[in-house]
Amino acid sequence: MAAEQAFGGMATIGAGIAVGLTGLGTGWAQSKIGAAAVGAMAEDESLFGQGLIMTVIPETMVIFGLVIALRALGMI
Amino acid sequence: MIHPRDMERVSITGPKSQLDSTIRRLHELNVLDIDDYNGEYDEFELGNPEKHADGISNTLVAARSLLDRLPDVESDGPAEIDGLNDLQERVDTIEDELEMIEDERQELEERRDRKEELLARLRLIDRLGLDPDDFQQLDAVDIILGRVDDTSFEDELPEGRYELYQDGDAIALFVDADLDVDQALGRCGFDPVEIDDLYEVDKKARDAIRDVKEKLDDIRSDIDAIDDEKKQLAEKHRSYLEANEKELAEELEKAEAPLRFATSENAFVAEGWMPEDRFKKVKTALEDESDGRVHVQREDADGEQPPVQHDNPGPVDNFEDLTDLVSVPKYGEVDPSFILFLTFPLFFGFMIGDAGYGLASFIVFYLGMRMFPGAKDIFKSLMFASAATFVFGLIFGDAFGYIIFGEHSALTALTGIEFFSQIPVLFHRTHNMTMLFMISAAIGVVHINLGYLLGMYNEYRHHGLIEAVLAKGSWIVLELGAVAWYLYGTAVGAPVMVTAVAMLAKGEGIQGIVEIPSLLSNILSYLRIFGVMVAAIALAKVVNSLASPMLATGTLLGLSGGTLILMVGHTMNTFIKIIEGFLQGIRLHYVEMFMKFFDGGGRPYNPFGARFADESRP
């Protein structure tokens, strides 16, 4: 029983780490790309689409993090 | 529909006597995307602008500067189009009138500024208890007026040889002329005030202040009157100037068109592109107009890139702007607008999947369309997404996070009407997380392979079947190999996958091999559909569970508080969901799917005359 509870706790912590770290990673990457994209857009507004694409690329990381978290919590 | 419109390269040749009328007709037809002449033929040079181009250009600049200087008011004046000479004359008259008004205003402003300064000085000496006649210039006494940080300069002045009037930081210092006080004052942060014209005021300070104020009021009302005059001038002439500015810009474009043509002593040649299906009509129109002296013919494209015009029916039209946001399609490649039309609303709708938010976002997009006419098409395409959201909401039986249909219907619980709980729903999303997870991945597989198929089609059209199979088909074979490996084991799967990799290496080279892991991450990226959906459901439930304890109290305060929370919360949620649904939905297209087939980089079709045709369209 105690072991099961401990396992559940670990899984929850793991889920938190998975989402937290991937979120930080994504944010760090997006901050740099986003800043550059906004700079480029200030020069040429037609770069909005390209900038958007570049900016959202790192998002995949946090999606993976979310999936792992839900998996760890046994929700899927 | 699946490709941009077919373009035809054409040349228009004729004698110079027909140049003017041809240009005029072309401008009306609004069809030829002119290629600027680059001097490739001997004997032919760049044409000269029409003689009156200079005059037009000068008048245009004058009219635009007037429009800039006149206040932006609703104008109900007549908007008749004048000939160049009349127009030039009238522009000059308006300019003179405006200049007179502006000069007068400037003069008044200067007078106002002087009076305001004087008023400030009078107030200052009034505070010090002095009057203007105390500032008579005397040889033996220096008068110093101004502001200081402190009065420590007094320590440096000999007793009895000065007189100081002080109020706060304001000082008036009467000091013997032979004493040098500048340095001492400087150390106290002295900020001087002019006194030159003060002694000319032959009144007591109080009276003078009253006088100056009265004069200031007069000047200000004069300025208002002048502004009114300027406004009236704008009201009278603005619509006239605007109409003629447009007309002039059009005339100028026509007058300067020969600069883009090749001309010899007696003939001209214009080259460019027009939609293939309009060629015949244009040819007839131009040749008939000139009694056959102008000749229009098809030319070889010579490997040049034609301009690109989308060619999509009805509603797909609205999604073209979303395509162009990434890049205008290349000529001859698949125009992805119809893919966006097919799957973007579905993605958006599936992710949010809530009838309430479907309606709310529809209203937001409708208002957006009314407020930002420039982005009309994008808002229209988003309204499709809202409609899909609404439909998915009904399918899942969700509205604003409440279950409305099916056995757990909150509507039935609220109203007691059994009917709502009997409306069938596909499934309740919260109870089927694993299934939604699998559906998301499956959407990814389908969507990405659709991308590969379109890529195959593009390759097939440009490089033939073998290249298509090697470069794009190999990816599909690779996926089939992975499936075979999973179902039938290594013996079946491995050879298929090795073959696929070999095909890929042949088709796309080392770049293709390096890309292989991205296939998996691209498909997994579609799990964001699931992720956004979970977040969307959770956010809606959070608002509802915040409100429900207050609503449950049944008191007036509780009910109104709960309703307020619901309204604020769901409004905020609507915007969060619009952003999430749009960004994630569009990104799956732009990044994961388009990269499988879309090159882009086309040059938009920009026919001669189009700028004005667009503006006059109702």
Secondary structure (H, E, C), B385-407: HHHHHHHHHHHHCEECCEECCCC
Whether residue B615 is predicted with pLDDT greater than 50 in this model: the reply is no
Whether residue B477 is predicted with pLDDT greater than 90 in this model: the reply is yes
pLDDT of residue B126: 87
**A67: number of Cβ within 10 Å:** 22
d(CA B495, CA B316): 42
A64 to B590: CB separation less than 8 angstroms, yes or no: no
User: Residue B438: closest CA among chain A residues belongs to which residue?
Assistant: A76
Residues from chain A contacting residue B521 (CB–CB below 8 Å): 60
pLDDT digits (tens, 9 = 90+) for B5-17: 999 999 999 998 8
How does B111-148 read in b/e, with b if 16+ C-beta sit within 10 Å? bbeebeebbebbebbbebebbbebbeeeeeebbbbbeb
pLDDT digits (tens, 9 = 90+) for B224-274: 999 999 998 888 888 888 888 888 888 888 888 888 888 888 888 988 999
Task: Tell which wins on pLDDT, B203 or B381.
Answer: B381
Mutation to test the A interface, candidates B528, B580, B586, B595, most A Cβ within 10 Å? B528
Binned at pLDDT 50, 70 and 90, residue A52 comes out as confident
Q: Which of A52, A57, A67 sits opposite B527 (nearest CB)?
A: A67
Segment B171-199 shows an average pLDDT of 83
pLDDT of residue B366: 95
Segment A34-45 shows an average pLDDT of 92
Segment B168-191 shows an average pLDDT of 85
In the block, which residue shows the tokens 């839900």? A70
* Residue A75 touches chain B, beta carbons under 8 Å: yes
Q: Complex ipTM, two decimals?
A: 0.82
Residues from chain A contacting residue B319 (CB–CB below 8 Å): none
% of residues, chain B, pLDDT over 90: 36
Number of C-alpha atoms within 13 angstroms, CB side, residue B380? 14
Binned at pLDDT 50, 70 and 90, residue B613 comes out as low
A49 to B587: CB separation less than 8 angstroms, yes or no: no
pLDDT of residue B336: 93
Measured in whole angstroms, the distance separating CA A47 from the mean position of its chain's CA atoms is: 24
Q: Measure Cα distances from B173 to B130, B188, B290, B482, B530 in Å.
A: 11, 14, 91, 97, 81
- Chain A from 32 to 61: CB within 8 A of any B CB: 48-50, 52-53, 56-57, 59-60
Those residues whose C-beta lies under 8 Å from the C-beta of residue B30, and which sit 6 or more positions away, are: B607, B608, B609, B610, B613
Binned at pLDDT 50, 70 and 90, residue B617 comes out as very low
pLDDT digits (tens, 9 = 90+) for B54-63: 888 888 899 8
pLDDT of residue B610: 65
| Residue B181, Cβ density class (10 Å: 0-12 exposed, 13-18 middle, ≥19 buried) | middle
Task: Tell which wins on pLDDT, B452 or B419.
Answer: B452
If you compute the radius of gyration of chain A from its CA atoms, what whole number of angstroms results? 18
A60 to B525: CB separation less than 8 angstroms, yes or no: yes
* Residue A1 touches chain B, beta carbons under 8 Å: no
Degrees (nearest 5) of the Cα angle B242, B243, B246? Answer: 85
pLDDT of residue B618: 31
Whether residue B386 is predicted with pLDDT greater than 90 in this model: the reply is yes
Whether residue B96 is predicted with pLDDT greater than 80 in this model: the reply is yes
Those residues whose C-beta lies under 8 Å from the C-beta of residue B468, and which sit 6 or more positions away, are: B456, B457, B459, B460
Residues from chain B contacting residue A72 (CB–CB below 8 Å): none
SS3 B295: strand
B524 to A60: CB separation less than 8 angstroms, yes or no: yes
Q: Which of A50, A59, A76 sits opposite B434 (nearest CB)?
A: A76
In the block, which residue shows the tokens 């119809």? B338
d(CA B232, CA B166): 50
Residues from chain A contacting residue B581 (CB–CB below 8 Å): none
Segment B427-433 shows an average pLDDT of 84
d(CA B139, CA B553): 89
Segment B430-447 shows an average pLDDT of 91
pLDDT of residue B371: 92
Residues from chain B contacting residue A75 (CB–CB below 8 Å): 433
Structure token digits, residue A51: 């900038």
Whether residue B552 is predicted with pLDDT greater than 80 in this model: the reply is yes
Give the least confident one: A57-71, B71-85, B184-198: B71-85
Segment B529-544 shows an average pLDDT of 90
pLDDT of residue B479: 93
B531 to A53: CB separation less than 8 angstroms, yes or no: no
d(CA B327, CA B4): 13
Segment B287-305 shows an average pLDDT of 85
pLDDT digits (tens, 9 = 90+) for B389-416: 999 999 998 899 888 887 777 777 777 7
d(CA B273, CA B26): 12
